[in-house]
Amino acid sequence: MALLRILFASLCFPALFVSISGRAPPGAWDVFNYAPTSKTVYPTAIHSVSGSVQNAQGLVGNAGSATINGVGSWVALDYGKEVGGLISLNFNTITSTSAISLSFTESPSFIRPTASDDSSFPSENTTYDGVLRVPAPLKTGFWTQPASALRGGFRFLTIVSNANSPVTISNVSCAISFMPHVQDLRAYSGYFYAKDPVFHDEDFLTKVWYAGAYTVQTNTVAVNTGRKVPFASAGTWANNANLGVAGPIIVDGAKRDRAVWPGDMGIAVPAQFVSTNDLIPTRNALSTMFAAINPKTGALPESGPPLSQLGSDTYHAWTLIGTYNYYLYSGDVEWLQTVWTNYTRAVAFLEGKVDKTGLINITGLRDWARLGGGGYNAEGNALLYKVLTTATTLANALNLTSLSTSWSHNATALKTTFNDAFWLESAGQYRDNQTTSLCPQDANSFAILFNLTTSDERASRVSAGLMGNWGERGPEAPELPDTVSPFIAGFELQAHFESGNDERALDLLRRTWGYMLYTNLSVQSTLLEGFTVNGSIGYRSYRGYNYDSAYTSHAHGWSAGPTPALTTYVLGLMVVSPQGKTWAVAPHVGGGLPAAEGGFETPLGWFGAKWTLATGGGKTLMVQVTTPGGTEGEFVVPNGMGGTLTVDGVGKGVVQPGKKVPLLGGARVVKLVA
């Protein structure tokens, strides 16, 4: 297969399709891959020094040694991007009183000798975690931080002297702890590449695709490296808790919470699929949730152990939706069968909360941080709809046709009831519940994305309405004031593409992720959990995070929405049935980009595409797509691009936007002259 691909590539599309098995083709995009070349990394710069520090530069790139002298003197090292893992160093020269401490932080705002940023617990003093003390007497030679004191995510390390004598150190490395099962962290199975003609950085879209991919890598961890619960006492932290039934496992964030959260996976896993196709950590996370089902009620936990948070109907729904996503990408029907009994009980748990109105009454109120949310709530009902439509597909896959029909019937009924209950004609959006006029970002994004809208016109109105929440840095969620949630914005991003508003989607992408990726309050490599409307990193300050902006995670997989969105919508390449046995290429070319290329891999092989849009005079769209032989797909004629179509040089006549043109697997060339 790989050989054929290379052979064909060299005949037809030199740069694009050369690929060795398990690896995306090399190209101009590789310089934007944030993953380190080695699993042992060294500082790339000195951020700052204070007091008496000699030859701090010696610590950069392991060039030499540095000497820190006197209580409170320190050097802040910059690893250049988000990293995580155990620090090792060499004590070259010490005295009997020499002692140091280490403090870690993601954001440069919390570089300080007295405390790390927070991960154990949010505290208004921002200093709950404290420092890692390495007390006297030290020993000369090689030293490694205790495994329980692992910091899973940081960019800056401050080394402080705690003695009135000099200590000389060298070889300050970090042994990367994430992706423990993978040797070459840069060996991605997918790629994406496009130039942005509008943004201040023309490589923004490519960078943000790789930032999302790297963020998810930093969230893929060994099963025995979870945050300790009950939380470590003040002044300490510990990341040595068991996270589930098997590892490696996908968690919500690199620094914290370091636990399985199924809602977060609704974004992180599609990002993982198109970039690394590293789905075992996802299977382990889902297995962990099903193993912890309440045997009496069928309720799934909101999060994995050791947190094992209970009481969230929406996150319960996300485990079920995630089951579908995992099956779609992997085709792992054997695993599906192992969880099927618990899966059906968990669907029945939600269906049991549907009352005579036909709506689910949400009583497990915990959620992604939004306010409100109980009772007949639009977001909860939208998620139930997605559960039912995906359950329909899964039951079909297992040949359980009458169950499938029953779930499908209930989904159809819910769609009608949803529109009757929540549509607010005066707003052109869905309201949060029947006693409010607040139109939330989550349910409105879901309504488009999950196909709850009853017409294209209604979807367009919702998309336009969502824009009403926007400021300079993107949407303020009405259901969580003063907050930009890149998690929910990741669904909104898809909703704008889905409703055909490509330019609006790219505008949102540039505002929200264009802020996150470049702001010097963050790590400029992975994507933070959220921020306030004015751009501060005090995400959720008033909503559970105790006004502790040091607690915010700067590497949160739920913020990786652009990675799957760029592949699925801008490039337009997606799997339709498991492993891409059927697929579609539906480029969204209305955003003003001249070209895009990329692809991903499934167990069936390589799926790649490249398009260019020439706009002199008329518009000519050229799409090259290559998919495994034996698969079948379709080309979807883009919005505003009705015209004359040829496939592999054979005329197919005049086609209208939205028209689906069947394509066989293999290498195809589609040309559309509008």
Ligand X SMILES: *[C@@H]1O[C@H](CO)[C@@H](O)[C@H](O)[C@H]1NC(C)=O
Cα 331 to its chain centre, rounded Å, is 21
CA dihedral of residues 204, 209, 215, 218 (deg, nearest 10): -120
**What are the φ/ψ torsions at residue 186 (nearest 5 degrees)?**
-95, 0
**Beta carbon of residue 14, minimum distance to ligand X (angstroms, whole number):** 36
Least distance between ligand X and beta carbon 340 (Å) = 9
DSSP 495: H
657, 637 contact by CB (below 8 A): yes
Strands 582-585 and 620-636: parallel
Rounded to 5°, angle at Cα 311 from 310 and 315: 90
Nearer to ligand X, 79 or 290 (CB): 290
Distances (CA, A) of 344 to 299, 303, 341: 11, 19, 5
Q: Work out whether 433 is an interface residue with ligand X (CB under 6 A).
A: yes
Q: How many residues bind ligand X (CB under 6 A)?
A: 49
Closer CB to ligand X, 141 or 197, in the complex: 141
Tell me how far, at minimum, the Cβ of 618 lies from ligand X, in Å.
Answer: 29
Phi, psi values for residue 576, rounded to 5°: -105, -40
List the beta strands (DSSP E) in 163-277. Answer: 166-176, 191-193, 220-221, 249-250
Task: Assess 658 for contact with ligand X (CB under 6 A).
Answer: no
Q: Does 482 contact ligand X by CB under 6 A?
A: yes
Shortest Å distance, C-beta 183 to ligand X: 16
361 binds ligand X (CB under 6 A): yes
- CA–CA separation, 499 and 464 (whole Å): 10
Q: Is 288 in the site for ligand X (CB under 6 A)?
A: no
Per the listing, tokens 């949630």 go with 485
Beta carbon of residue 560, minimum distance to ligand X (angstroms, whole number): 24
Stretch that binds ligand X, among 27-35, 338-346, 634-642, 650-658 (CB under 6 A): 338-346
Q: Which is nearer to ligand X, 123 or 309 (CB)?
A: 123
* 147 contacts ligand X (rule: CB under 6 A): no
Give the residue from 551, 427, 539 showing the smallest Cα distance to 477: 539
Q: Is 57 left (phi over 0), alpha (psi -120 to 50) or beta?
A: alpha
Instruction: Name the residue with tokens 């760029």.
Output: 566
| Beta strand spans in 118-165 (E) | 132-134, 141-144, 151-161
How far, in Å, are 164, 262, 283, 328, 403 from residue 324 at the CA level?
Answer: 60, 12, 11, 6, 16
Cβ 490 to ligand X, closest distance in Å? 20
Nearest approach, Cβ of residue 653 and ligand X (Å): 24
Is residue 234 close enough to count as binding ligand X by CB under 6 A?
Answer: yes
Q: Are 601 and 615 in contact (CB under 8 A)?
A: no
Stretch that binds ligand X, among 203-211, 261-269, 402-410, 552-560 (CB under 6 A): 402-410
Q: Which residue is nearest to ligand X (CB)?
A: 372
Choice between 97 and 406, CB closer to ligand X: 406
Selected binder of ligand X within 339, 570, 625, 637 (CB under 6 A): 339
Q: Which of 13, 79, 91, 407 binds ligand X (CB under 6 A)?
A: 407
Among 12, 20, 31, 333, binds ligand X (CB under 6 A): 333
Residue 363 makes contact with ligand X by CB under 6 A: yes
Q: Shortest distance, CB of residue 320 to ligand X, whole angstroms?
A: 12
User: What are the phi and psi torsion angles at 430 (to 5°)?
Assistant: -90, 140
Residue with tokens 């390589």: 606
Q: Which stretch binds ligand X (CB under 6 A): 198-206, 286-294, 551-559, 640-648?
A: 286-294
CA distance 254 to 216: 9
The answer to whether residue 88 forms part of the interface with ligand X (CB under 6 A) is yes
Burial pattern 38-51, b for ≥16 Cβ within 10 A else e, equals: ebebbbeebbebee
- Told to check if 87 binds ligand X by CB under 6 A, we report no
In the region spanning residues 25 to 64, those forming contacts with ligand X, defined by CB under 6 A, are 40
> Contact letters (x/-) for ligand X, 371-390, by CB under 6 A?
-x-xxx--------------
The reply to whether 437 sits near ligand X by the rule CB under 6 A is: no
Site mask for ligand X (CB under 6 A), range 490-529, x = bound? ------------------------------xx--------
**To the nearest whole angstrom, how small is the minimum distance from the Cβ of residue 378 to ligand X?**
9
Q: Which of residues 522-561 bind ligand X (CB under 6 A)?
A: 532, 534, 536, 538
Residue 460 found at the interface with ligand X (CB under 6 A) = no
Q: According to CB under 6 A, which one of 48, 54, 165, 171 is a site residue for ligand X?
A: 171
Instruction: Look at residues 84, 82, 224 and name the one whose alpha carbon lies nearest to residue 148.
Output: 224
342 binds ligand X, rule: CB under 6 A? yes
One residue of 27, 108, 465, 642 binding ligand X per CB under 6 A = 108
Minimum CB separation of residue 216 from ligand X in Å reads 24
Residue 406, Cα to own-chain centre: how many angstroms? 33
Cβ at position 194, least distance to ligand X in Å: 25
Q: How far apart are CA 514 and CA 472, in angstroms?
A: 11
- Return the residue of 32, 91, 210, 290 that touches ligand X, per CB under 6 A: 290
Does residue 313 interact with ligand X by CB under 6 A?
no
Pick left, alpha or beta for residue 496 (phi over 0 → left; psi -120 to 50 → alpha; otherwise beta): alpha
* CB of 148 vs ligand X, minimal distance in Å: 18
Burial of 346 (0-12, 13-18, 19+ CB in 10 A): buried
Pairing mode, strands 643-647 and 660-673 = antiparallel
* Closer CB to ligand X, 55 or 361, in the complex: 361
Q: Which residues contact ligand X by CB under 6 A?
A: 40, 88, 90, 108-109, 123, 125, 127-128, 142, 171, 173, 234, 290-291, 293, 295, 333, 338-339, 342, 351, 354, 361, 363, 372, 374-376, 398-399, 406-407, 410, 415, 432-433, 435-436, 438, 451, 479, 482, 520-521, 532, 534, 536, 538
